[in-house]
Structure 1
Amino acid sequence: PGGHAPEPGTLFANRALADFWDRLVDEAKGAGVDREAQIEAARTAFYEGFVAEAIDDFLRDAEVLDASGQRHKGVLTGQDMADWRATYERPISVDHAGWTVWKCGGWTQGPVLLQALQMLRGDDLAGMDPVGPEFVHLVTEALKLAFADREAYLGEPNAMDLPLETLLSTAYGAARRSQIGETASLEFRPGAIPGYEAWAEAFRARVAEPAPADSGIGIGEPTMAHLTEKPGDTCHIDVIDQWGNSVSATPSGGWLKSSPVVPGLGVPLNSRAQMFWLDEGLPTSLAPGRRPRTTLTPSMAQGPDGTQLAFGTPGGDQQDQWQLIFLLRLIHHGMNLQEAIDGPLFHTGHLQASFYPRGARPGHLMIEPNFPEATLAELASKGHRLEVAAPWSIGRLTAARKRPDGILQAAATPRLMQAYAAGR
């Protein structure tokens, strides 16, 4: 207020944001009493009305400090917004040990989790100690291969013919599984898919380049802020209503250090376009009308007895890693929701990061210290470059499920005291 930070103990009100919501609701009500008509009126006001106009006016002249450390103009216009509408899309899925697991399509990293399940479908996971070195090594190596395929082959399916059918096939999963050895791989190995050799080669060339220096300005994924000095966060929510309808959603996109607040609206713009590459001819190439390949990746599953499960987490490139561990514990180790979430977690940085400066850490494995010492020692002997995290610091998982007998259950991570499970 007045160009100064509020004094301690004083009230702060984002009046522009309050006015924005009031006006949006008023315009929706103007469409009458039909709920669907009101929703459509709100969408029109957002994408063609006063919201789009405010954004268009602001970005005509605004120059905003970004991750380069310099100020640049934006490229979004009101016409861009008017020409776009959200659509309904069928999820993608695989079957694993009697469960069906659904994810969003190739413009997200959702196929990573499904690919890992396909690679591991023939392994005796139930016979492995869930905190033992064999389990951690196998899951980590499968994720490395799946993330290499993410970088090579995933992107906007409305613009490019993605090889999703191949990536999620049992034959391809078995072929990729055969590439997992007894020691930690330090290579970046996208799978060989006929007709897509150029995409794979482009990824290999890209990941071989050293990442730019970290400018410290508005970079990184906000949910991983607990590992850095940069504040911020993403959200995830799983809800089941009294009729059994389930929602799994991971909203995110703008955070204040790199996202300008639009005057008159009180909200920041999305900054997910940083996921694009400027190289042409790739599924992640920047082009009009395309969606950036996002890290946001909510999940749903159904068990062989009809149990319905919604689950997910914030966490950038770690989202499908933590979700995979949770799901495997649930399916193969007979844990309940809270046990599967509370168990010690790990993730690898052996991938090209989705966020600037887009670096990669070959062989990296971050792991919580409540794994047995023998597990940590064995993983190190296999060549994993361990980074032992602070206790109870990895993962943001939440989950909700409906059992066939109608019982609703939910669980949330105790880590960092950020997540909650509630019922009524």
Structure 2
Amino acid sequence: MKKALLLLMLVPMALLAQPTQKPVLHGKNWMAITGKPLAATAGSAIFQQGGNAVDAACAMLAATCTMWDVLSWGGETQALIYHPGLKKVIGINALGVAPTGADAEFFRKKGMAFPPQYGPLAAVTPGTPGGLCTMLAEYGTMSLAQVLKPAMELAAGYPIEAQTANSIEREKKRIREWPYSAKVFLTHPGAEREAPEAGEIFRQEDLLATLQKMVAAEQAALKKGKTRKEAIYAANDRFYRGDIAAEFARGSQEQGGLITTQDLANWKVIIEEPMKVNYKGIDVYKLSQWTQGPMLLQALNILEPFDLKGMGYNSSKYIHTVYQAMNMAFADRDFYYGDPYFPPAEPMQGLLSKEYARQRAAAMNKDRNDPAVAPGDPYAIEGKTNPFSEYLQKWGAKAKGEVAAIDQSYLDQVWLGTTSVEAADKDGWVVSITPSGGWVPSCIAGRTGVGMSQRMQSFVCDPALNPFNVVEPGKRPRVTLTPTMALKDGRPFLSFAVQGGDTQDQNLLQFFLNMVEFGMNVQEAAEAPNFNTYQFWLSLGGDDRKPKPGQILLHESTPSWIRKELIGKGYQLRFEPRTSGPINAIWFDWKHNSFWGGSSNYGEDYGIGW
């Protein structure tokens, strides 16, 4: 019986013809997938009006920001765009920066090992409005008024879903600390349940007014003879340099924040070259080291020489090999990744080289978990000397100590979710976005209706932890947010993203391998059981962010002999009924010139194709 089941594990999932819990989405003209059904509907409405994938993605982004549960307008946007005219993948860096006065000494004097999780002191400058305006102006076809129309209708009042409403109720104590947030979120002040009820019409007058001001700036510019692009940037300027900015800064400072009007005026979106590696003939693209994205690329490089398919899907050997590769990539992430626009330069050429990957693979313990996996030293490959070798030698000690039990609070920080946006059209435009920031409980900045980001918490204050990611004014924190795109034979192959903090690139790595190595279709791969390591420094949370060596999350269906073999390799096992995402993705079927969409089989993720 054991051998029969093991043989089944070695057969590609697609050949077993097992039905998925949700069907594959099919379309030949366009595909719109995101984390909220109403937001997916917003994307489909834009497509039906003749917009391209960038227009639709911007509409979905705006809608999800207006629905609060996992992000808001004051958060950050990370995007990859495939430009069919240029035949290249373009990166959008719309991450805010630490404001004036926010440095390591400021937080240390407050007794903080890291910047706080919540409140005005957790906020970097808002990035999403600028990211949306830039994507739309540079690569879209529609006006801001058209793209924001669904979001403005939502802000005027929409039936709030239970997930968001219940999040507000759970966080009402903290929300009461911030008067502008309490006014928006606690629609029944003094009642036993102060949050909205599921299905209640949730109205956001201040946010609607902010969006109307941006549209008004665009319309005024058009009346003056400005181009579509110039008019969209006029709306952007009103947010970052006009009356909206003034109120945002005032509201932040009134509640103890640091953001100034100059911080807002100085910030800008960066259009950049993404990073890539080739895995068995497939070019995989990620945003650069201001995200955790390159860790997936590093893991692919490490794993490429291994016969993963021969090991069998989720066999103990496969799980162990992928787990160790992820730990190595995480260790490098934790020490080397940071804002590439601040010196010193991160050693990314070395980290993403095949030679470095061979060194890491050769150092892998093939039989047991290695609890002491540490960052490598890629500087020699670049012909340089590591300027932080002293920190590197001591780095392991920072992670050592008695392994604390994993409680629910820790897991909440590991899995802290956002959303993802995937869009593609028949003309070849493809968009993958992982936006976030300003989630419930968010501190709203004055009468803007805009929730401030909580992304400052991803900085460190101790350079011995990561000398490239120490908080200072004007700098971007290294974030977990990580859209992905893959090209094969010079054409889009796969566009995919997921929510879930430090688990994002773990799940995306396995999703990609599920399709490429094990022949799953896009929905099977999205639903398939994954496993997670906790052997990394938490990117979000409180003061205790130390790695949990050997801890592994498995799906509850994991066979008993796999469990026994993993215990024998030194792992401490945890089990959950859901370990797969939620992942949203689009696969490009060039044989039939159609799209295959995959969307998570739990949560509120939803897609529409035509």
**TM > 0.5:** yes
> Gaps (5+ residues) in structure 2?
1-186, 379-384
Specify the SS of the correspondent of 1:113. Answer: helix
Look up the match of 2:538.
353
Q: Deviations over 1:114-146 (max 9, x none)?
A: 000110111112212112111111000100010
- CA pair 6-297 structure 1, distance change in 2 beyond 3 A: closer
Pick the aligned partner of 2:204 from 10, 14, 31.
14
1:74 equivalent to 2:257? Answer: yes
Correspondence for 1:57: 250
Residue 606 of structure 2 corresponds to which residue in structure 1?
Answer: 420
Unaligned runs of 5+ in 1: 63-72, 226-232
1:26 corresponds to 2:216? yes
Q: Is the 8 A contact 1:153 1:200 kept in 2?
A: no
Q: 1:338, CA displacement in angstroms? A: 1.3
C-alpha distance in 1 between matches for 2:517 and 2:345: 34
Q: Tell me the residue number matched to 2:64.
A: none
Q: Is the 8 A contact 1:312 1:397 kept in 2?
A: yes
Counterpart mapping for 1:291-370 below 5 A: 291-304=476-489, 306-357=491-542, 358-370=545-557
In 2, distance between residues paired with 1:223 and 1:242?
Answer: 37
Task: Give 1:411's aligned residue.
Answer: 598
Q: How many residues align structurally? A: 403
Mapped to 1, the partners of 2:336 and 2:280 lie a distance apart of 26
Which residues in structure 2 correspond to 1:208-223 (within 5 Å)? Answer: 208=400
- Cα 1:214/1:48, change in 2 over 3 Å: farther
Q: Distance in 2 between matches of 1:183 and 1:212?
A: 21
2:298 touches 2:351 (CA, 8 Å); kept in 1? yes
Identity %: 31
- Distance in 2, Cα, partners of 1:220 & 1:81: 34
Preserved contact between residue 286 and residue 293 of structure 2 (Cα < 8 Å): yes
Contact 2:403 2:549 in 1 (8 A): no
What is residue 42 of structure 1 aligned with on the other side? 235
Q: Which one has more relative contact order, counting CA pairs under 8 Å at least 6 apart?
A: 2
Q: 1:245 aligns with which of 429, 439, 455?
A: 429
1:344 Cα deviation after fit: 1.1
Between 360-369 and 184-193, report the one with greater CA deviation: 184-193
Contact in 2 for aligned 1:100/1:303 (Cα 8 Å): yes
**Inter-partner Cα distance in structure 2 for 1:125 and 1:191:** 23
AA aligned opposite 1:247: V
Give yes or no for contact 1:188–1:351 (8 Å, CA) kept in 2. no
2:563 partner letter? L
Change (3 A) 1:166 1:221: farther
Segment drifting more, 105-114 vs 280-289 = 280-289
Worse overlay, 292-301 or 44-53 = 44-53
2:468 to 275, 283, 291: 283
Equivalent residues of 1:152, 1:202 under 8 A apart: no
Residue 269 (structure 1) aligned with residue 269 (structure 2): no
Can you list the C-alpha shifts for 1:135-177, whole angstroms capped at 9, x where unaligned? 1110001000100000111101111210000000011001001
- For residues 266 and 202 of structure 1, the distance between their equivalents in structure 2, rounded to whole angstroms, comes to 45
- Give the deviation of 1:103 after TM superposition: 0.2
3-state SS of the aligned residue for 1:421? strand
Change in Cα spacing, 1:385 to 1:422, as seen in structure 2 (3 Å) is same
Q: Contact conserved, 1:116 with 1:143, CA < 8 A, in 2?
A: yes
- Matched with 2:284 is 101
1:252-263 aligned within 5 A: 252-257=436-441, 259-263=442-446
Asked whether 1:400 is paired with 2:573, we answer no
AA at the equivalent of 2:254: D
Alignment check: 8 A CA contact 2:188 2:195 kept? no
> Distance in 2 between the 1:127 and 1:327 partners?
16
Shift of 1:38: 1.9
Asked if 1:204 is matched to 2:396, the reply is yes
Structure 2: how far apart are the matches of 1:210 and 1:105? Answer: 34
TM-score, length of structure 2 as denominator length:
0.62
Q: Output the CA distance in 1 between the equivalents of 2:395 and 2:339.
A: 16
Q: In 1, distance between residues paired with 2:436 and 2:412?
A: 10
TM-aligned CA deviation for residue 2 of structure 1:
7.7
1:152–1:199 CA contact under 8 A, matched in 2: no
Structure 1 match to 2:317:
134
Shift of 1:220: 7.6
Output the CA distance in 2 between the equivalents of 1:50 and 1:355.
32
Matched-pair contact (CA < 8 Å) for 2:535–2:547:
yes
State the match for 1:192 in structure 2: 377
The secondary structure found in structure 2 opposite 1:366 is strand
Kindly indicate whether the alpha-carbon contact (under 8 Å) linking 1:15 and 1:266 is maintained by their aligned counterparts in 2. Answer: yes
Shift of residue 221, structure 1, vs aligned partner: 6.0
Which residue of structure 2 lines up, in the alignment, with residue 373 of structure 1? 560
Look up the match of 1:229.
Answer: none
1:297–1:320 contact (8 Å) kept in structure 2 = yes
Could you tell me whether the CA contact under 8 Å between 2:188 and 2:196 is conserved in 1?
no
Superposition pairs of residues 175-186 of structure 1, within 5 angstroms: 175-181=359-365, 182-186=367-371
- Displacement of 1:335 after TM fit? 1.5
Between the aligned partners of 1:74 and 1:266, the Cα distance in structure 2 is 16
